Amino acid sequence: MRAVAIVGAAETKFGKLEQSYRELAAAAGRAALADAGARPEDIQALFLGSYSPGTFIHQEHVAPLVAAELGLPHVPATRVENACASGGSAFITACLAVAAGLYDVVLVIGAEKMTATSTEETTQILAEAADWERESAIGLTFPGVFALMAHAYFYRYGYTRDILDAVAIKNHQNALANPYAQFHKAITRDDIARSPLVADPLTLYDCSPISDGAAALVLVAADAAHHFAKPPVRVLGFGQASDSLALFERAELTTLPAAREAANRAYRMAGVSPQDIDVAEVHDCFTIAEIIATEDLGFFAPGEGGAAALAGATSRDGQIPINPSGGLKAKGHPVGATGVGQLAELVFQLRGDAGDRQVEGAEVGLAHNIGGSGATCVVTILAKGDGR
């Protein structure tokens, strides 16, 4: 396959925003083009990751809508949906299109507008990423799904919710240095102890928020990356894997087999191992998910992710910095944008452009983006430079 590089990255702020879906997506796209020093007419295709604009804003067929808004006349524009991994899957799809040789310059956008619906509606819409016929329709929404995982993890490895506190406090702390983050609010164990219970053992501070936002990347054939304005970041490897949507069809709840499989594929393609990763953005839709992710990705052995979080091994200056952006927990989680936003953050980190949240000396970064409770998992590995 032809090598692929990222030459432009951008995000809107995440949060409850005034702008419409098309305004957010176009703003991210324009900013990524500006970052790359590219013009709209350079773009040969658009891939757009978005979860459920049909239910959130009565608008399907969003890819040509956004292409037209950006002034990309007649470019092939394709939406990719894989729940909260829509962004990661759109990115992989775009990589394949460049790798195939059909396009040299491709724009990838992730976008979601989630705050135009009521909280009850939004909860139902999100539950449609789980198995509606077999689980969601009888009331198992995502906080419940991840609460079951947290209980299983506690029971199997002997933890209490201290480990969840450590993740929430770290990610809120990290987000203080991220201008794109939804929350700029340091939290304490006391804050968490006083916060409302959502689904035992998960409290408000264990849950990622409902967010609007968009993120974008400009992908090019690696051998053309030097034509663009910013230092390139190359795509070393990626992997995607699937699993059943319904939890009852899984053998265990303390690991996501599809995440392990996606990570193995990405490590194999990249030719690196977990020890080579300098910084990772992982899918902490709930705090327990970050702990399980650090094990599924091979940073820690099964059952040791909790202790590692407690010991600070995942802080910005720790053994493996996890979610320096603030993660979904504090940066925000506009679901279709999330996977693209993770990669934008890695681009900033690997270029040394991450400001006060910079992980010193980061040369290889990993993104872990999951859909639903892990029925889709996408792992991507990026490295500084164009590899020449």
301 touches a second copy by CB under 8 A: no
Residue with Cβ nearer a second copy (58 or 196): 58
* 3-class SS of residue 256: coil
Q: Could you confirm whether 333 is annotated as catalytic?
A: yes
Site for a second copy (CB under 8 A): which residue of 35, 131, 278, 290?
Answer: 131
Residue with Cβ nearer a second copy (169 or 222): 222
Q: Supply 100's token pair.
A: 């195939």
Active-site annotation holder among 283, 333, 368, 377: 333
Residue with Cβ nearer a second copy (129 or 166): 129
369 touches a second copy by CB under 8 A: no
Residue 108 to residue 59: CA distance in whole angstroms: 19
Identify residues 73-92 at the interface with a second copy (CB under 8 A): 74-83, 89, 92
219 touches a second copy by CB under 8 A: no
Our measurement of the distance from residue 346's CA atom to the centroid of its chain's CA atoms, rounded to an integer in Å, reads 11
Site for a second copy (CB under 8 A): which residue of 67, 108, 175, 210?
Answer: 67
Binding-site size for a second copy (CB under 8 A) equals 64
220 touches a second copy by CB under 8 A: no
CB of 111 to a second copy, least distance (A): 13
Site for a second copy (CB under 8 A): which residue of 40, 231, 257, 387?
Answer: 257
CB of 61 to a second copy, least distance (A): 4
CB of 204 to a second copy, least distance (A): 25
Q: Are residues 19 and 334 in contact, defined by beta-carbon separation less than 8 angstroms?
A: no
Q: Is 214 left (phi over 0), alpha (psi -120 to 50) or beta?
A: beta
Count of C-beta atoms within a 10 Å radius of residue 388 = 10
Q: Which residue do the tokens 């030097």 mark?
A: 226
CB of 379 to a second copy, least distance (A): 11
Q: Return the ∠ at Cα 132 (arms to 130 and 133), rounded to 5°.
A: 135
18 touches a second copy by CB under 8 A: no
Cα→Cα distances 164→101, 151, 323, 333, 370, Å: 45, 12, 14, 18, 19
Residue with Cβ nearer a second copy (94 or 320): 94
Our measurement of the distance from residue 138's CA atom to the centroid of its chain's CA atoms, rounded to an integer in Å, reads 28
385 touches a second copy by CB under 8 A: no
Residue 283 to residue 208: CA distance in whole angstroms: 10
Q: Which residue do the tokens 């705090």 mark?
A: 287
261 touches a second copy by CB under 8 A: yes
139 touches a second copy by CB under 8 A: no
Q: Are residues 53 and 113 in contact, defined by beta-carbon separation less than 8 angstroms?
A: yes
Q: Are residues 43 and 219 in contact, defined by beta-carbon separation less than 8 angstroms?
A: no
Our measurement of the distance from residue 338's CA atom to the centroid of its chain's CA atoms, rounded to an integer in Å, reads 4
Active site amino acids: 84, 333
Q: Which residues bind a second copy (CB under 8 A)?
A: 1-2, 20, 22, 46, 51-52, 54-55, 57-61, 63-65, 67-68, 72, 74-83, 89, 92-93, 96-97, 99-102, 124-125, 128-133, 136-137, 239-245, 249, 257-258, 261, 371-372, 375-376
